[in-house]
Structure 1
Amino acid sequence: MKKFISFLLLSFVVYALQAQIKDPVKFKTELNTLSDTEAEIVFTATIDNGWHVYSTELGDGGPISATFNVDKKSGLELAGKLKPVGKEVATFDKLFEMKVRYFENTAKFIQKVKLTGGAYEIEGYLEYGACDDESCLPPTEVPFKFSGVTKAGNAAAVKTEQPEKKEPEKKEEPAPAPAEVKDSAAMMELVPATPADAATDIQPAVASSELWKPVISDLQALGEEHGQEDMSWIYIFITGFLGGLIALFTPCVWPIIPMTVSFFLKRSKDKKKGIRDAWTYGASIVVIYVVLGLAITLIFGASALNALSTNAIFNILFFLMLVIFAASFFGAFEIRLPSKWGNAVDSKAESTTGLLSIFLMAFTLSLVSFSCTGPIIGFLLVQVSTTGSVVAPAIGMLGFAIALALPFTLFALFPSWLKSMPKSGGWMNVIKVTLGFLELAFALKFLSVADLAYGWRLLDRETFLALWIVIFALLGFYLLGKIKFPHDDDDNKVGVSRFFMALISLAFAVYMVPGLWGAPLKAVSAFAPPMQTQDFNLYKNDVHAKFDDYDLGMEYARLNGKPVMLDFTGYGCVNCRKMEAAVWTDPKVSDLINNDYVLITLYVDNKTPLTETVKIVENGTERTLRTVGDKWSYLQRVKFGANAQPFYVLLDNQGKPLNKSYAYNEDIPKYIEFLQTGLENYKKGK
């Protein structure tokens, strides 16, 4: 009994310190009687913003599907399968190469049962998977227990009995494994799961194990990782700003700058008023594009934009749009909005005065520059839509608009700069054709998503890379003057800047050549199809775990005098695969992991059953352990106070942390520093 009380106190302390535990889904369970012979068990979830819960029957090789599981039942039979109810989001997942379905904000699952008469009882659990854009929770269980009495043809006397009101399954934690594992298949010494045990002093099987003791406070003292949301917003802004700078140098925008600034300066005898008008013009450009970004989000919704960005049909249409714009930039034809639109707005600007006329002039610029800015804005919005943020498109458009408006205000402040401004000419057509090549390259990225969705296998990784190699090689030859398009002049001279641009393009084409044989090519990993589509791969710089069992791996590390790297992962963890492909393939990272650490990879969604189910008490609540994955999930929660993957932690061979934990972040130097710091701390402590 003393051990039981000690464990409850320890559990309370752990619960208080679990700052990293994520609890984004809360389920309510109820049994509704539909008639004397029929009832339904309803699971209703409230889902935090940014998270989603996967639907039923997604198939093998994908994320965790919602499933209905029965431990025992009597007096009733299941009627049909678990049914998802509500608005599902269906999209193609590029990592799993399959279509998935999930719920956002709310979810409901219904299992119908047939009452056979008399007393009935059913006990079991709903299992589900939940993810956000950065991490996934381990398979989580929602327990239920209902009983009552019914008579066919008479009114039902029903008693519904639920396990104590608990927070979502995330807290449903399996029991840990013992320090000494007699059978690695069983993974732990089992405690019988009997009702008597549940009512008395159930203890975790590894209560005495030093290796399983919580180290949450130690990790907090070392400093934990935080989200990268602020950095991602800065990245979105910078991306938009760079897009605006590119748009500046197109034939649709650059020639308008001196004419517009001169107009404002000559429009008024008061120079200060002319400068103020130019500032107003620039601010109007910013307002127009930011409003456009917000309008797109409000019309479609952040989650719809995210789903749209991975939709196969949308990607085919965007691919065709970019190819058409590229052909236009090459000189095949010219794309313009109807001239009457621009003329109507322009004439309205001339007939009005004050701020409204300036705003209408800015709107005219937006219309007449569409053929050059449209592809850039479209590509920007597609990229930022994957963040699922309501404000991300507006932030991207803010950066784009500031870059576009900047020269109008600067030249208004310093009119003498207008004289040194490069005149429009052949160099602008070079920029336009260069954009055409880039649009053609990016178009293949969108076609690749559709290709994966329909299983055409037209754009396997080596085919995609071969096309990119040809495109960037042709761009290099064009910049050197070896290829001519209809609007190019006959000047055969190649300027210094143009020469260096050609050098960069040709070097990039050569850089991609080893990718045809399996080299990772981190610079293009975000665009190229996944490595598993590569038919011919000679690259073998992979990282493989030495153990998938915590206790056995720790014993090996102790006997060999090495520190340990724990990798909490999942078969359905998207960002885990990203880290393995983008970070672990780095030679320095793979060398450190393979040679200096004992890597133990623990899959929290491992469905290998234990020889017996185990009921344990965690945070004062009874939980049930059923699978090996449950065990590793419990280890992550009780020892490290976290429940999301990927999650990396460095330990000495006594189970003490050597550095702060590391979550999803593809910064390779930072990951190397994380590993090296742990190694240095291990050597100091020996």
Structure 2
Amino acid sequence: MVGWGIQFQSSGFIIFMAVVTLLFAANLLGLFNIQLPSSMNTWLATKGDHSYGGHFIQGMFATLLATPCSAPFLGTAVAYALGASYGELWLIFVALGIGMSLPWILFTIFPSLVKAFPRPGPWMNKLKVVFGAMMLLTSLWLTSLLSVFIGKPATVAIIGIILLTVFILVGKTFWKKAVILMSGFSVFALGGGLIIGSITADSWSTPIVDNLHWQRLDANSIPALVADGKTVFVDVTADWCITCKANKIGVVLQEPVYSELQQSNIVTMRGDWTTPSDSVTKYLQSYGRYGVPFNIVYGPNHPEGIPLPVILTSESITQALNAASGTPNG
């Protein structure tokens, strides 16, 4: 989630999000229309007036419809908030609320902005197809997260079935031209992502091979290790957590942190939260955390531990290691 770090504790939640996103994509692509029952349409029409209740209903449904579209960004913010302090948590959710309501606030303050919008027309249907293709890519990405639960071959097969089904339905609905356009868009998006990824991989950071001796997280053994003069670096992570991977590639497996963690007095522990783990969950909750990544350093000078920020830096890790072990910063 910065990256995708929402709390995926079960494959069921991933499947639910992927299916919901796929349904929105199919709707935007015009494969079918999602219609509410007439009774509910009538109820909404009577509630959507200019009263406070009407405005609340309109805002609630606008947020509900917008949330799946913003999932890759919203998930990152929520995951960060769940791992932050209470003050930061409230600040982030207030900022999310302001962001969702900002268009209404702007049009209320400056009504003349409405004139800057183009008139409704055929361009709206074309824009829906673009958004539908983007939602389809999001759904495929969500589906790819299932690889840690069902394996890569099964995941690739599911993604292939989804793509084939969508292309067939689009072909039947809009003929071959639409399939060609969607195929071109998919190739362009995939190729662009690979090119950008290769460029940023070279210009950003190339990780060192991970030869650190990671022990399985055992909270009960940490006090004994600290009493023996050891400094313990704990990394709670998950395969689906992009923020965790960014921390690992950009900081943990880079100098000077990598060499610091290889010192004989340093013990590295890792808690894997890729699949549900009661022990890891309890460990996180003991520090008031409900998401990953979570890193903390224990040592003779700080047996209670020094929690690290969600976004790691080499300075934050080095300073925590020195402070916990009692080594002067140098």
TM-score (normalizing by structure 1): 0.29
SS in 2 for 1:332: coil
Q: Does residue 667 of the first structure (1) align with residue 329 of the second (2)?
A: no
Structure-1 residue corresponding to 2:302: 641
CA contact (8 A) 2:251 2:312 kept: no
Distance in 1 of aligned mates of 2:298 and 2:48: 64
- Pairing partner for 1:541 from 208, 226, 245: 208
Larger helix share, 1 or 2? 2
User: 1:365-376 to 2 correspondence within 5 Å?
Assistant: 366-367=60-61, 369=62, 372-373=65-66, 375-376=68-69
- Pairing partner for 2:149 from 426, 435, 453: 453
Change (3 A) 1:513 1:441: farther
- Pairing partner for 2:131 from 435, 445, 452: 435
Change (3 A) 1:668 1:452: same
Change (3 A) 1:326 1:348: closer
Structure-2 residue corresponding to 1:574: 236
Change (3 A) 1:314 1:594: closer
SS in 2 for 1:323: helix
Distance in 2 of aligned mates of 1:376 and 1:576: 24
Structure-2 residue corresponding to 1:321: 20
CA contact (8 A) 2:26 2:32 kept: yes
Count residues in correspondence.
260
Distance in 2 of aligned mates of 1:671 and 1:401: 31
CA contact (8 A) 1:319 1:447 kept: yes
Q: Deviations over 1:173-212 (max 9, x none)?
A: xxxxxxxxxxxxxxxxxxxxxxxxxxxxxxxxxxxxxxxx
Deviation at 1:321, TM superposition (A): 1.8
SS in 2 for 1:568: strand
- What amino acid maps onto 1:542 in structure 2? V
Structure-1 residue corresponding to 2:277: none
Distance in 1 of aligned mates of 2:79 and 2:258: 37
Deviation at 1:363, TM superposition (A): 1.5
SS in 2 for 1:590: coil
Structure-1 residue corresponding to 2:40: 341
Structure-2 residue corresponding to 1:651: none
CA contact (8 A) 2:261 2:267 kept: no
Structure-2 residue corresponding to 1:311: 10
Deviation at 1:569, TM superposition (A): 3.3
Unaligned runs of 5+ in 2: 164-175, 182-186, 216-229, 271-296
Q: Deviations over 1:499-522 (max 9, x none)?
A: xxx99985433224689xxx6998
Q: Does residue 511 of the first structure (1) align with residue 192 of the second (2)?
A: no
Q: Deviations over 1:19-62 (max 9, x none)?
A: xxxxxxxxxxxxxxxxxxxxxxxxxxxxxxxxxxxxxxxxxxxx
- What amino acid maps onto 1:360 in structure 2? G
Distance in 2 of aligned mates of 1:388 and 1:665: 7
Structure-2 residue corresponding to 1:363: 57
CA contact (8 A) 2:25 2:132 kept: yes
Larger strand share, 1 or 2? 1
User: 1:61-460 to 2 correspondence within 5 Å?
Assistant: 306=7, 309-348=8-47, 357-364=51-58, 366-367=60-61, 369=62, 372-373=65-66, 375-376=68-69, 384=78, 387=82, 398-425=94-121, 428-429=124-125, 431-455=127-151, 457-459=153-155
Distance in 2 of aligned mates of 1:598 and 1:581: 20
Q: Deviations over 1:260-312 (max 9, x none)?
A: xxxxxxxxxxxxxxxxxxxxxxxxxxxxxxxxxxxxxxxxxxxxx95xx3211
Distance in 1 of aligned mates of 2:63 and 2:310: 36
Change (3 A) 1:674 1:311: same
Q: Deviations over 1:537-557 (max 9, x none)?
A: xx87225459x9xxxxxxxxx
Unaligned runs of 5+ in 1: 1-231, 240-304, 471-482, 489-501, 524-538, 549-565, 607-634, 648-661
Distance in 2 of aligned mates of 1:522 and 1:433: 34
SS in 1 for 2:114: helix
Q: Which structure would you say has the larger RCO, counting Cα contacts within 8 Å and 6 or more residues apart?
A: 2
Distance in 1 of aligned mates of 2:247 and 2:231: 13
SS in 1 for 2:36: coil
Deviation at 1:315, TM superposition (A): 1.8
Q: Deviations over 1:566-598 (max 9, x none)?
A: 86236xx42499899534534897243567996
Deviation at 1:599, TM superposition (A): 3.2
- What amino acid maps onto 2:256 in structure 1? L
Structure-2 residue corresponding to 1:265: none
CA contact (8 A) 1:331 1:485 kept: no
CA contact (8 A) 1:411 1:418 kept: yes
- What amino acid maps onto 1:419 in structure 2? K
User: 1:16-35 to 2 correspondence within 5 Å?
Assistant: none
Distance in 1 of aligned mates of 2:254 and 2:90: 39
Change (3 A) 1:347 1:312: same
Bigger CA radius of gyration: 1
Change (3 A) 1:520 1:341: farther
SS in 1 for 2:249: coil
Distance in 1 of aligned mates of 2:89 and 2:97: 12
User: 1:548-559 to 2 correspondence within 5 Å?
Assistant: none
Q: Deviations over 1:611-657 (max 9, x none)?
A: xxxxxxxxxxxxxxxxxxxxxxxx9543x22344xx7xxxxxxxxxx
CA contact (8 A) 2:83 2:310 kept: no
- What amino acid maps onto 2:53 in structure 1? F
Change (3 A) 1:583 1:414: closer
- What amino acid maps onto 1:667 in structure 2? L
Distance in 2 of aligned mates of 1:521 and 1:445: 25
Change (3 A) 1:435 1:332: same
Q: Deviations over 1:424-476 (max 9, x none)?
A: 3455445533433333333244334443224465348xx99x99xx9xxxxxx
Deviation at 1:342, TM superposition (A): 3.1
Distance in 1 of aligned mates of 2:74 and 2:252: 35
- What amino acid maps onto 1:511 in structure 2? I
Structure-1 residue corresponding to 2:267: 603
